A and B are shown apart, each in its own frame.
Chain A
Amino acid sequence: MTGGLLKAAALCAALACAAGLTSACGGQVAAPKQGAAKPAAKPQGAAKPEGGGVKSAAPKVTEIKEVDLKTLLGAGSVRERPLLVNFWATWCAPCREEFPDLVEIRGQYGEDRLDFVLVSLDEPSDIGKAVPEFLAEARAASFPSYLLNADDSDAAINLVDPSWSGELPATFLYDRSGALVFKHKGRVKPAELRDALDAALE
């Protein structure tokens, strides 16, 4: 329970929680609900961005529920920077394979221009080992990283994109107005993603 509270506290801090979300963070979240409207302007789930994702870093992965995902995406809310979200899992081969591309893109679009977060669909029991170990190995330790422990995957998938069937990997880009401007299911095509990023950054 202490661990859960700690996690919840970390999450609230990471998402710069509005008062409305505090209760949701503090207890069991049964279902996504309204009221957590404040956009995550700059999520900082990764413990120590310094070090640029060197292999030895132990990235922090924060467990989230549907309601937190909704806050994180902040769909429809104005934000400082475009937000790129990649859904992945350690058990997903194309997800693992696209990490070098994701890391390269992160390097090309700085944190001052683009928020880029990772959402893992691994089992909650993988949050302490398999997920952070992979992220460290993939040199992706500096990404804000979350693990979605959804009570209902159907609701979680639909709140991201009703036309998404849930296949991984999947990558979504929101512009500064909070609009979903690009989505790609399956392994990203870096050139295509860069075009979308450039358009969103114009």
Chain B
Amino acid sequence: MKKLSAIALLLALAFTAACGTEDSDTTYAKAALAIGAAAPDFTLPDADGKQHTMASLKGKSSTLVLFIATQCPYSNAYNARMAKLAEDYRAKGVNVVGINSNSTEPAAEVKQHAADKGLTFTILKDPGNQIADRYDAQVTPEAYLLDSSGKLVYHGRIDNSRTGYLITSTELRDAIEATLAGKPVEKAGAKAFGCSIKRA
């Protein structure tokens, strides 16, 4: 029952999104997605081949797009933290969407990896890394936080410590909290080292 209503909602949202894509197409810029800019919509398949539009995955409060990998040790170091973020904020209307743009990591591997690592949020495959190109994503993990209107409010790392032993700044969580509180995000970006996205 729950599943049925979810599908109905997805279809409804997908329809709405389809109507809106013409506009967002024109906003696809060559340059990196800037803070404050509307994130481009997209349609991508999940690991089972089912198509999802960005609009259909939009959270009520905000949407967190995470470019992730199966084989990157840096991204893998964040699996538990990414799962926790999704869990902590699901009820608050933040939807987490994972995107795997690595040409070296097929859908079946993405599915298995998510199951093994407890990543319960939707993970999409990005064939030909088109969406990574549109977002100018280069590294895994790389986070893009969109507010309720779909505008980019934070771009960059999850926190400052790969190992998790010395976390002294939690930029992504801070940005989510600010967005939920209706406040401006103080630190809209911070970089971290990581694996390169393996483009086709």
Contacts and interface: CB of A to CB of B under 8 A. Distances in A.
Given A165-B139, A167-B139, A152 B193 contact: no
B196 A94 contact: yes
Given A165-B139, A165-B142, A185-B138, A154 B191 contact: yes
B59 interface: no
A166 B71 contact: no
Given A91-B73, A91-B74, A166-B139, A157 B193 contact: yes
B196 A153 contact: no
A130 interface: no
A123 interface: yes
Interface residues of A, number: 21
A56 B194 CA distance: 30
Interface string A113-124: 000000001010
Interface in A155-174: 157-158, 164-169
A87 B142 CA distance: 19
Contacts of A157: 191-193
A13 interface: no
Contacts of A154: 156-157, 189-192
B195 interface: yes
A66 to B, nearest CB: 13
Contact of A166 (B73, B163, B191): B191
Given A94-B196, A157-B191, A165 B163 contact: no
Contacts of A164: 191
A168 B189 CA distance: 19
Contacts of A94: 195-196, 198
A11 B189 CA distance: 31
A31 interface: no
Interface string B78-92: 000000000000000
Contact of B196 (A91, A152, A158, A186): A186
Contacts of A91: 73-74
A89 B192 contact: no
A189 to B, nearest CB: 13
B32 to A, nearest CB: 9
Contacts of B162: 123
Contacts of A169: 196
B157 A153 contact: yes
A29 B163 CA distance: 21
Interface in B164-200: 189-198
Interface in A104-162: 121, 123, 152-154, 157-158
Contacts of B163: 123
Nearest to A90: B73
A93 interface: yes
A92 interface: yes
B160 interface: yes
Given A93-B71, A154-B190, A167 B195 contact: yes
Given A93-B71, A123-B163, A185-B138, A168 B156 contact: no
Interface in A53-94: 87, 89, 91-94
A157 B189 CA distance: 13
Given A153-B157, A153-B160, A185-B138, A168 B192 contact: no
Given A87-B193, A93-B71, A123-B163, 9 more contacts: A94-B195, A94-B198, A121-B193, A154-B189, A164-B191, A165-B138, A166-B191, A167-B197, A168-B193
The 10 A-B pairs at the shortest CB distance, nearest first, are namely: A167-B196, A165-B138, A167-B139, A91-B73, A154-B190, A166-B193, A166-B191, A157-B191, A186-B196, A121-B193
Interface of B: 71, 73-74, 137-139, 142, 156-157, 160, 162-163, 189-198
